[in-house]
Amino acid sequence: MAKQFKFPDIGEGITEGEIVKWRVQEGEEVQADQTLAEVETDKAIVEVPSPYNGTILKLHFKEKDIVQVGEVMVTIGEKGEAVEEKVAEERIEVEEKPAPSVVGTITETREEIREIAATPKVRRLALELGVDIKALQGSGPQGRITEEDVRQAGQERPPAAKKPEIKVKSKFDFYGTIDRIPLRGVRRATAKRMSESVSKADVSELTGLRQTMKQEAEQKGIKLTYLPFIIRAVIQALKDHPLLNSTLDEEEGEIIVKNYYNIGIAVDIPDGLIVPVIKLAEHKSLFELAQEIQQLAEAAKARTLDLADLKGGTFSITNVGMIGGEAATPIINFPEAAILATLKIADRVRVEKGEIKIKKILPLCLSFDHRTIDGAEAGRFVNDLIRLLVQPGQLISDLDK
């Protein structure tokens, strides 16, 4: 029996994608997990695998077409089997029907609801609001049911009594342990806004240390930039100032402090910035960090990152040094609490013990969520970060030996 494979909800708020390239043709035999197509989302180019064994009976879109989550991409079945245009028939039927009242008891199963012309997000909303989605007439393109259709219909229903919920709060997430801090007092009342801190670090010694290690890195085929040292310094400073390595759960009124360090690195691509994440960076040597930075940056520019590479960040760093300037205001990568911008290292005049000297100076700009972090704590974090960069010997660990 022919099966229709719909563009899946792959998370991260993605609702559509552009088919960059079909990796199969109609009439071709495919195996489960074989790549069907390369689809470009606003996050990355992803390979969409087949969930079934069988023959490609029909490709429902052409290359460069936009496919919405929930739309049929491919029909797979037995060779020579007829293709039923089930989705098209259902849409015509919905358009011809008058819109009946949606007040009543919902009896449809989840399987029945999945056949409606609506995205998974809209279907979930209908289930949450108790709306009979099969009774709605969609206002979107080709009769597609929108969030507004569901919410408007939901206003016609009397509010249902809420069942008591038992909440179990875990001390772990996918990457490691977390701590929960209740959001209370002055911090709870703090306005929703972002604050900024601008400082400068004397990285003259760091410049020399990098130059010393650069030759060894080149022998290993690794390009050693300043970023691995900055990541190491950031992690050490975060350990003493954990609120900067947190997220805010507004619904629960809690600050979730992460006890691991997944560092996002902003990469400039033609379509804007993309932020791949180095997972568990605290367990990697300087050379390992440098190698992963290089690999992630290349994949980001080629748009071949996996979606998993973009998830799980706890703190981000954006290097705007190539652009120049003395300061920047980086935008926090939600749901993180802070982001650091590093600018161009340049020679600056400094006075030391009454003598004028030329020093290598690195401007640093920190943006942070004031609901989670106050200015004094952010200032202490930056001071510790500068201390570590000024005395880079502290950044060398047993992992580097």
Give the three-class secondary structure for 123.
helix
Cα 399 → chain centroid: 28
Kindly report the number of other CB atoms within 10 A of residue 236's CB atom: 18
Measured between alpha carbons, how far is residue 162 from residues 101, 116, 130, 251, 313 in Å? 23, 27, 12, 17, 34
Cβ atoms of residues 85 and 133 within 8 Å: no
Angle formed at CA 124 by CA 121 and CA 128, multiple of 5 degrees: 135
Residue 370 annotated in active site: yes
**Can you read off the two tokens belonging to residue 107?**
């009896």
What is the CB-side half-sphere exposure of residue 52 using CA atoms within 13 A?
A: 17
Helices 375-390 & 204-219 angle (0-180, nearest 10) = 60
Rounded to the nearest 5°, which phi and psi values hold at 97?
-75, 140
**Residues 6 or more apart in contact with residue 206 via CB below 8 angstroms:** 226, 229, 360, 389, 390, 392
Q: How far apart are CA 133 and CA 127, in angstroms?
A: 8
Q: How far apart are CA 92 and CA 95, in angstroms?
A: 5
Residue tagged active-site, from 60, 241, 283, 370? 370
Give the three-class secondary structure for 340.
strand
Burial of 27: CB neighbours in 10 Å, binned 0-12, 13-18, 19+: exposed
List the catalytic residues: 370
